[in-house]
Amino acid sequence: MADERLITALDVPSISEAEDLVDAIGDVCEHYKIGLQLLPVGGMALAHALKSRDKKVFLDYKLHDIPATVEKATRSLASVDADLLTVHAEPPVMRAAVEGRAGSTLKLLGVTVLTAYDDAILAEIGYGMGARDLVLRRVEQALECGMDGVVASAQEAAEIRQRFGHDFMIVTPGIRPLGADAGDQKRVVTPKDALEAGSSHLVIGRPINQAENPRQAAESILQEMASTGH
């Protein structure tokens, strides 16, 4: 019944709340994202526990460091049998991560441009190009470096597919099922629209983890996904 394209973000403050959420969702979701909120308070132990329950684990570390450190960190993370890992989509970082995961089944995703950054912030940081151009440049570089895919919004997904084809993952956050509250996300799309735009995987947080009945929320998202024919 589960669909590995649906990734529930375990954005809760403690491991026990994350475990309760996974229990509540049960067999409806098999793929979980553990991010910076949980990683310092036992997130890796949770990753082990989820793997022993046959779940898929997406470690959202967003690594960004000197190549030697990224390579060694990726090697450590590959050894715990995680399924997905994010690194910033800068070529030296990505090449190091690809070296570090050699011999493992870990898949690597490049974070192209954080969605909290607009053209003005990129100029403030010192980039000479806007967000759209930088996203496309980094997707191209990610594919050249041997990455498995990128994290990108649904708005970006359509253009990325048009330019670079379908042979890699596009993992998309900022998804809201019909009628759901957008929260602080500025640009939200429905699961159906994201899949139609070319997203291969959907990362969904609050619509599931804040729902009164998380299992039911995940189930109705799965139904919406199944109805697209993608």
Length of the chain: 230
User: Which residues are 87's β-sheet partners?
Assistant: 63, 110
* 57 three-class SS: strand
Q: How far is the CB of 43 from ligand C5P (least distance, A)?
A: 12
Q: Which residue has the tokens 């000479």?
A: 128
Task: Return d(Cα 33, Cα 90) in angstroms, integer.
Answer: 22
Q: How far is the CB of 102 from ligand C5P (least distance, A)?
A: 26
- Footprint of ligand C5P (CB under 6 A): 9, 11, 35, 114-115, 151, 173-174, 183, 185, 203-206
User: Which residues are 6's β-sheet partners?
Assistant: 202
Q: How far is the CB of 35 from ligand C5P (least distance, A)?
A: 5
Q: CB nearest ligand C5P: which residue?
A: 205
From the candidates 33, 55, 62, 192, give the one annotated as an active-site residue: 62
Asked if 55 is an active-site residue, the reply is: no
Look up residue 224 and give its two tokens. 């919406």
CB-wise, 11 or 71, nearer to ligand C5P?
A: 11
Task: Return d(Cα 6, Cα 200) in angstroms, integer.
Answer: 9
CB-wise, 185 or 200, nearer to ligand C5P?
A: 185
Q: How far is the CB of 68 from ligand C5P (least distance, A)?
A: 26
Task: Return d(Cα 205, Cα 120) in angstroms, integer.
Answer: 27
CB-based contacts of 75, cutoff 8 Å, min separation 6: 100, 101
CB-wise, 198 or 205, nearer to ligand C5P?
A: 205
Burial profile 212-222: b = 16 or more Cβ within 10 angstroms, e = fewer: eebbebbbbbb
CB-wise, 100 or 177, nearer to ligand C5P?
A: 177
Q: Are 97 and 85 in contact (CB under 8 A)?
A: yes
Q: How far is the CB of 176 from ligand C5P (least distance, A)?
A: 7
CB-wise, 38 or 106, nearer to ligand C5P?
A: 38
Residues belonging to the active site: 62
